[in-house]
Structure formats: C-alpha cells, structure tokens
Structure 1
Amino acid sequence: MNFKQLHYFLTTVKKGSIAAAARELDIAQPAISQQLASLEREMGGQLLTRSFSGVVLTPAGQVFLNHAIKLVDDFNLAKNELNGIFNRIDCVVKVAMLPSIGNVLSMPLIAEVKARHPKLTLDISTGPSYSVKSWLEEGNVDIALTYEQEVNPQFMTVEPLIREELHLVVSNAATNNEYQHLLSRDTISFWEISQFPLLSPSTKDALGRLIAHYERLTGVSLQHDRAYSGQLMTGLRQVMQGEGVMILPTSAVFHLQESGLVKLLKIVDPEMPRLVLAATNKTAPLNDATARMLSIIKQVVASEQKQHHWCGLLAFAQQAQSRGASLSGSLISN
C-alpha cells in the first residue's frame, strides 16, 4: 500500500466514480483502476462495488475509508511539519495564486522580496481557483491567494486582503456598434451585460460560480454561448478582437487599461464585490518565513491598491480599524 493508492481511493469515493476521479486527478481511468485493484489485493478483498452508475463502498470499504482518511491526514501532517523545518533552514515560501491575482502581485512581490528580504526565497505557482485550493490542501504550497468562494474552513486558516470590485472589460478599439456606445461610460448595470456575448469560465471556477450567483440573485440570464478556453490571456485576446466582453477585477487588466487597449466599466445595480484572502493550511505549522511572507503580501496588496492597479477596499485595513474602534470605545467606557 502506498500514498498514491490511498489518494486515488479517497478521490474515487469522494467523486463517486472512477471516471470522475480521473477527471479530477487529470489521469487516465485505467491507471486509477489498476491502483485500486492492487490496493484491494493487498487488503485481501473488495473495497468498492463498481457499476455503470459509479462506485459504492462495500462494508469492508467503509471500514477501510476511516483508516485511509487518518493515514492521509497523518502523512500530510508529517509532511507539513517537515516542510516547516526545511523552510526554516532555506526560507523558501511557496505561494499559489490565480492568474488575475498574479497579474498584479507577482512582479512587485518578487521585487519586494528580492530587494528587502534577501533571506527569503519566493516560489510562485499560478492556476485556476480549484487547483490553488487543491495545492494548499495537499501541502504543495504554503500560502494560497484565493477567493471567498473557495474557502474550506475544515483545513484553511484565512486572512482577508482586499474586497475587490468587478468590472466589465471591453475592447477600447471596438469598431462594432454593439460595443461602441460603451466606450463613453464608466459604469454598467448587471442586467445590461445580458446584451453582450460574455466570455466566462465554468462554475467549476470561483468566478464562474460568482457570476451564476448574481444571475440567480437578479433573475438576469447572461449570454454564455461564446466559446472560451478558460485561459485568462486567451480570453483577453478575444475581448481585444471584439469577440465578446469579460467580467474581471482590475487586477487582471490594469496593464491593458493603462496601455489604452481595454475599457473598464464598473458593474453596479448591483455591484459585484469579491473578497480575496490569503489562506494557509491548518495542519501546517506557521513558520517564521511563511508569517513574514504573509506580511509582505499585505504590504504589496496595499501598494497596488493605492496605485489603483487593484480597485477595492483593503480588508485587513478595515479589520485593524474595527479593532482600534473597539479598543477606543473600551478605553472611553472605562
């Protein structure tokens, strides 16, 4: 028995089928089936009943499930504790973030660490929201910069960073009359977005789920029939070619706005705020290097917000002000 077999077993049980587990793990179904069969031979009996509709735990499988969860948790705890020791030695901090966040934070964060914190080494990974969440859960990164839609309090400890504003992104060079009248505006109502082909991710992504939430909230159905790969840079190229519009934070497109390539219209009625957080894994000890990196991230977020690269309200500043107001009230009352 090895960790891979346990991981495949737990993912298959969680997803309800080998096919769904293969999609989640991004590997071929036969590879999972082979590992599960090997695990069952080693355990001495069938753990899963397989059918066209999926998999179901056998009585033995239910017993094994509890042990498998504990074994994986213990393994991750040991791995994270060792990572804490190793990180204290070489001070490498692994930070994962979405491309929209990476666009505004990666370069200034790298520059800040290099200039002022030579004992720290920053390792940045970018990916979709569900991948960033998975990397943190599996202990592959120390800090995940993500959105409130992806928070899982079972294994995450979070610190709010910024409540960003979402905007409609339109090509500034639009020659199509469909978009031309938008270039003289600064805001747009949510219902008006339904008039334009929207390039949006699926609901597997945090942004896709947020857009779907506002569709339900307002009763407005947006046009999602325009082909979109889910890749931010590809989507922005499509926008600049006049193929559609996107809903994004300024962090994702401030550089294109400054270059005059896109126009941003703040979404109102209702507004679409989204809370960005820094998350760490509860099972991992928060070593000095990770704590230092969290502090640096906050500094860089504040700097980018001040330069209007990232429009929104600093959430950690609000927290500090609330605590200060509470303390002042307490002192006055005493």
Structure 2
Amino acid sequence: MNHKGKVCVTGASGFLASWLIKRLLSSGYHVIATVRDPGNAKKVAHLRQLQGAEERLCLVKADLMVEGSFDKAIMGCEAVFHTASPVVAAELDPKTEILKPAVDGTLNVLRSCKRNPSLKRVVLTSSSSTIRAKEDIDPNVPLDESSWSSEELCETLGIWYVLSKVLAERAAWEFCKENNVDMVTILPAFVIGPSLPPELCSTASDVLGLLQGETQKFEWHGRMGYVHIDDVALCHILAYENQNAEGRYICSSKILDNDELVSFLSARYPTLPIPKRFKKLDRPRYEFNTTKAKSLGMKFKPIEEMFDDCIASLVEQGHLSLL
C-alpha cells in the first residue's frame, strides 16, 4: 500500500469521524485522531479495531473548549478534518450553551491549524441545514452552495443547532480568509448508514426510533435530504485530495418528504413497525444542486443502499430486530 501523508481528524469517536478514519486508514493515511478522553476504552475501542489502526492511528487528547489543546495533534499534519462539534447539555440558554461553544470550538481548532506550517488544507464538516432554513425559496431552482440559511429565521424558530452551524461556518470562513488558511467545507444532508461506535449518536438513534414506530423525532424534519455515511466520508477525502477544490460542497443523495420516506421504508421493510404518515408541515419545497460535489467524482449511493446498510448494522449490533 502506498503510504500517504499524516492527517488529523477531530472528534474522532463520533458517528461520521469514525467512518472517515476507517476510510483514511484504508487509503493509506497516517491518522492523528483527537478525542476528549483517549483512556475511555469504551468510547475508542471501535477505532483501535479498524484495519491499519495499529500501525497508523494515534489517539490524542484534545478539548474544543480548551484554547491551544489541538496544537499537539495538528502540528505536522498536512490536512485537518474538523468534524467535532461541542457536546451540548440542556438548552437553558442556547446562546451560551450552543452557539458560543460551536463558534469558539471551531476557531480554537483553526488557530492550531494556522500555527502548523505543514498544513495544506482544512476540511470542515458543516451541514446542509446552513443553506435551507430561509423563507424565500423558489421550489423550481435547486439550492446550491451560494445559499445561506437566515440567522433571523433560525432565531425566530429557535432552531439553535442550525444557527450554530451557520455561525460556526461563517466564523471559519472569516478566519481562514484573514489568516490565509486553505479551507473547504462539506455540507452533508441527514447521514444514514452503519454506526461504528457501539453507542448510537442522536442521528442514528432518531433513525432507530423511526424504524421502531416512533414519530416524535422525525416529525419536525419535514422535507429532508439523505446521504450515505460512506459518501460523506469520501466527499471529505476528495475535497482534500483535489487541489482545485474550493468553497462549499453540498453532500446529499436524495430529498424526500416524511411521507415519501415512510412509504418507501414500509414497502421495503414490511416487518418493521414504521409509521404510516406524518402530520403535514408547512415547509417550502426545495431540491439541492449537487453538481459541485459530483465534479469531485462523487457518485451518490441510492436511498435503498443507505437504509439497507443502516438496518443491517442496527440488527448486527442488537439495536433492532427484523422479526
């Protein structure tokens, strides 16, 4: 195998980061992976078991909220894949508990990037929600990377996660412009696929809930883009490896309304107690223009494959029974 350079992945024990590390290792990269507690065997065991991990994976302690704590991990790396987002407690005061940590954590990582002379590029994981929460959507014109969600609308609706992603990405662009840091951002839709960490993250547990007949979490999704976790990981790597890559990249395979999603799921997996329908939300109809990601070589996996892989993984890990 041809050994590639040394790269850093933040928030390594997470759903997406774990899969990204798996792909990076299989491509021959040396990976420095940051976690808040490398000694927490339960949280990192799945990373140590990855193919190539013994030779080319190093776990380093770093905390988004501690200034300079990424210096050691990032120094000497050619790429930094920043996927970590702060772990958020109860929403008593969203501005201090969600918005500020999201921005501060991102800038903390970018300051460490700036201090690293070996750095070629930062690939930041943002979200497709940063482009679709706005009022003036023309249903006939697919949204592209030039679109930004309305901060005012996010605040009015209290969608703090979306606002945190918008503010963090905007702050990142500003910092990189001022400090001459080469950055691209990936905007994934709702990520579906196998979970490597044994504990399910909120995304994976929302999907599990839906497959078990719950409507509560998905109810407010309304119309949503879906994408296979492997495609998101690959898109990060292509955006790093392609010298001409620049700006933002929407990473989404298919957009479905809730009712379309459940009718597809119940037809495909008839033994699961999937909800029949959802109450209609007054949401704008939109599509995504993913030409830009496809120009990197992305060919998105279909919705069937993402859910087949996701369900097989949930069954294998004992979270779901297909009886």
**TM-score under structure 2 normalisation?**
0.24
Q: Which has the larger radius of gyration?
A: 1
Quick check: which one's helix share is greater?
1
**TM-score under structure 1 normalisation?**
0.24
Identify the structure with bigger relative contact order (alpha carbons < 8 Å, sequence gap 6+): 1
